[in-house]
């Protein structure tokens, strides 16, 4: 089976711009979770989507949003970028319910200048 794929792998944006990141889960996985990794905060949960519905959301401002399509592919969007949004954004897919193993993509490295 192909793993989780994320595009693009690297992105450089300017403060105030917006960005859209894409994630394709493992075939058959319907749950997609997004995480932000920074050196200071570690891996922080952003949100989770299942069957096109956001089921859970982490403690991030409303500038961070996402969606899921009928084929389980997911996108996340960050509007009005700030310097502090520079991070590695990771997408993970999993089967519904337990076990809770999540399988991660390679991530998108976002740099905001």
Partner 1 sequence: DQQVKQNSPSLSVQEGRISILNCDYTNSMFDYFLWYKKYPAEGPTFLISISSIKDKNEDGRFTVFLNKSAKHLSLHIVPSQPGDSAVYFCAASYDGSSNTGKLIFGQGTTLQVKP
CA distances (Å), origin 33, targets 16, 28, 58, 59, 83: 25, 15, 10, 14, 23
With contact defined as beta carbons under 8 Å apart, do 52 and 58 qualify?
no
Total count of residues recorded for the chain: 113
Site string for partner 1, 1-30 (x = CB under 8 A): ---x-x------------------------
Q: Which window, 12-20, 47-55, 61-69, 70-78, contacts partner 1 (CB under 8 A)? A: 47-55
Question: Rule CB under 8 A: is residue 62 a binding residue for partner 1?
Answer: no
Question: Rule CB under 8 A: is residue 99 a binding residue for partner 1?
Answer: yes
With contact defined as beta carbons under 8 Å apart, do 93 and 103 qualify?
yes
Residues 25 to 44: which contact partner 1 by CB under 8 A?
31-33, 42-43
CB of 10 vs partner 1, minimal distance in Å: 10
CB of 43 vs partner 1, minimal distance in Å: 4
């Amino acid at each position: 089976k192909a793993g989780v794929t994320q595009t693009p792998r690297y992105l450089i944006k300017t403060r105030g711009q917006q960005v859209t990141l894409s994630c394709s889960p493992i075939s058959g996985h319907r749950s997609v979770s997004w995480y932000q990794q920074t050196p200071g905060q570690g891996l922080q949960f952003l949100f989770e989507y299942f069957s096109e519905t956001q089921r859970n959301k982490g403690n991030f401002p409303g500038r961070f949003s996402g969606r899921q399509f009928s084929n389980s592919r997911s996108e996340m969007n960050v509007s009005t970028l700030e310097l502090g949004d520079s991070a590695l954004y990771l997408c993970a897919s999993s089967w519904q319910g337990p076990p809770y193993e999540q399988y991660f993509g390679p991530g998108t490295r976002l740099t905001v200048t």
